[in-house]
Structures are given as structure tokens and as C-alpha cells.
Amino acid sequence: MKNYKHLTTILYFLILFSGCKEKKTPTTTPETTMANSEINKNPSTWAEKLGWPADKKVILLHADDIGMCPEANIAAKKQLTDGVIQSAAVMIPCPNAQEFISWAKENQKLDIGLHLTLTSEWKTYRWGTVSDKSEVPGLLDEEHKMWHEVPQVVQHASATEIEKEIRAQIEQSLAWGYRPDHIDTHMGTLFGHPSYVKVYMKVAQEYGIPANIIDISNPKVLAEFRSQGYPMDDSVVRMTEAYSLPKLDYFTSVPKAKTYPEKIANFKKLIGSLDSGLTEIIFHPSVLTENLKGITNSWQQRSWEAQMFSDPELIQFFKDEGIIFTNWREIMERFQKQK
């Protein structure tokens, strides 16, 4: 969510809701596959609630924007099969989504979800809705494509239209023969308005598919996301408290950098800054091609993000830091065992 594309969104929300008071490491290790024999009596984090040690950083390295283009698919397939990342999510409205879903069906042990998509941010490489255009007019611009930015969605689209479209994307995946392991939100759109959060949680709970809902009962976490402009008002706090599926303790993204060494250094600093608990870290891997350069000016960051998790330096860093890795499948398995 720290991608420059979100700057306009953040500024918009800071103004609109200023009155609120209140992203090769082994995919599995013995610690990720074996639950603790005793659950903490008074767990303070979701990592603890799910059986991980209280003082550990439990991380999901999660690839976003899969299905957007061939370059993203190639990069994510390699990272997932090499075991250097734990999770990925597909943008169903995009041109290469079905190809990746077909691959996911052949690789059922991998953790692959849906990157629920309500914006189409690039200048010339764009997509529309899965729903019939006549049923979700508020989601479409004058070119009959999704809006470029989150504030435009908030200004034009009702929660009813949002719900119809995210259900349509889930149903499309199911129609292609794949039940997603989790759902999340492209460009943070589903956190763009309290009414969107409500339908997002509703749909996740009805399908029994976990969403990237952050536990904002932690005042530090709540304050940080509010400071970034997310409209997490009192109604969102209450909705989050009532949400019946597992939550994340924290959510962030791989930092940008001007050079590859700086990229690695910035990422290490991010890891070092994390509190113990369950954290999802998103990034946008793509192999570098001229086609990618024609889609987005973030091509250099995406190319580095396709390389960095196979970097021996970073792999050793994870070992030295005692990082535990997990994915949404394991989270749900642990969650269901405790019910």
C-alpha cells in the first residue's frame, strides 16, 4: 500500500476522514508445520492465537497483481514452485487471470487467492468488470473500464455495486474450477469506505474464505493505518471485532529503492522494524520485458521483486532473524483446529 500509485488515495482519505478519533527461504520449516503443543493462555497476537511462539515474527510473503500480464504470471510461478514465497493472488478481470487459475488447479498444494480488483490504474493497459456493465455503472469510467484511482471508486460506486463485482470475481474463479484460498484487495479499495469494508467482510464470511483483515484492536496499528488515510472509523473497528475469520496482526509492502542493494537493505530494515505477530508483506513480481515497461513505470521495482527472495543474502538474513513463514492455508488449518 506504499506504492506511489496510492499517494492520491492516501491524500484523499486524509482530507475526507481527518475527523476520525479513533509484503530462497523455505516455505515450510518444522515450526510452520507443527503446531505448539500448548496454546498461550492469554495470547496478545493472532500469531499466538494460532499457536506460534509469542516472540516470533510470522510472515507471509505475498505476490500481488498476478494475472495482470504474462510477466507477472511467469515470476509468481517460479517463486511459488521454488518455495521462496508463500502466497499469491490473482486479478480475475485481467487478461492473463484464467491462464494462472488453470496453473493453480494443477498445483493444488500452493496457496493462491484472489486479488479482488475494482480499479484499472495504468494509462493504456486496462480492464473492465466481470459483472455486466449495466449492473455496475458506478464502477466504470467513460471508457467503460474500471476507474484509475480509489477515490474515483469511492465517489461513484455504491456498496451494492462493490458487493456484486467482488462476488462475480469469486464466482468466476469457481466457474473456472478453482476455489481461492484467500481474498484481498487491489490498491486497498475495499478499505476505501466503511460500507465497502462491511461487504468485504460479509462476502469473506459467507464463502468461508479468509480476507486480509487487520486486527485493529491494537491502538498502535489502528493509529498507523488512520495516519495513512484509511477511513477506519468506529464502525470499522466494531466490524473488525465481530469478524469471524482469522486476522492479520499487521500488513505492509516491500519498500521501493533506487538500486537493488538498497532494495535489499530497505527490506531488511522493514523486517527489523516489525513487532512479533502475524504479518503479510505484499510485493509485485514480474520478469523484465519491453512489454512490462510499456505497462508500468514501476517495472524496475517489480523486476527486483521477482529476484530478491531467491537472493542468498536475504535467505541467510531470514534464518539469522528466526523468521517463521506461513500462508493462508496453514492459517485456516490452525484456525479451524481451535474452533
Query: What mean pLDDT is predicted for residues 130-152?
Result: 98
Residue 20 has pLDDT above 80, yes or no: no
Q: At what angle do helices 70-82 and 97-105 cross, to 10 degrees?
A: 20
Is residue 116 within 8 Å of residue 90, measured between CB atoms? no
Contacts of 33 (CB under 8 A, 6+ apart): 330
SS3 string, 213-271, reads CECCCCHHHHHHHHHCCCCCCHHHHHHHHHCCCCCECEEEECCCCCCHHHHHHHHHHHH
Is residue 188 within 8 Å of residue 6, measured between CB atoms? yes
Least confident of 35-49, 73-87, 261-275, 310-324: 35-49
> 207-254 pLDDT, tens per residue?
999 999 999 999 999 999 999 999 999 999 999 999 999 999 999 999
Res 8: pLDDT: 47
* Half-sphere exposure for 70 (CA within 13 Å, toward CB): 6
Res 42: pLDDT: 65
Report the C-alpha gap between 167 and 153 in whole angstroms: 17
Res 16: pLDDT: 47
> 245-294 pLDDT, tens per residue?
999 999 999 999 999 999 999 999 999 999 999 999 999 999 999 999 99
Across the chain, what does the average pLDDT equal?
A: 91
- The structural domains of the chain, ordered by start, are 47-337 (3.20.20.370)
The CA–CA distances, whole Å, from 20 to 13, 191, 192, 229 equal 11, 15, 14, 10
- Answering whether pTM is above 0.85, one says yes
Contacts of 312 (CB under 8 A, 6+ apart): none
Report the C-alpha gap between 332 and 329 in whole angstroms: 5
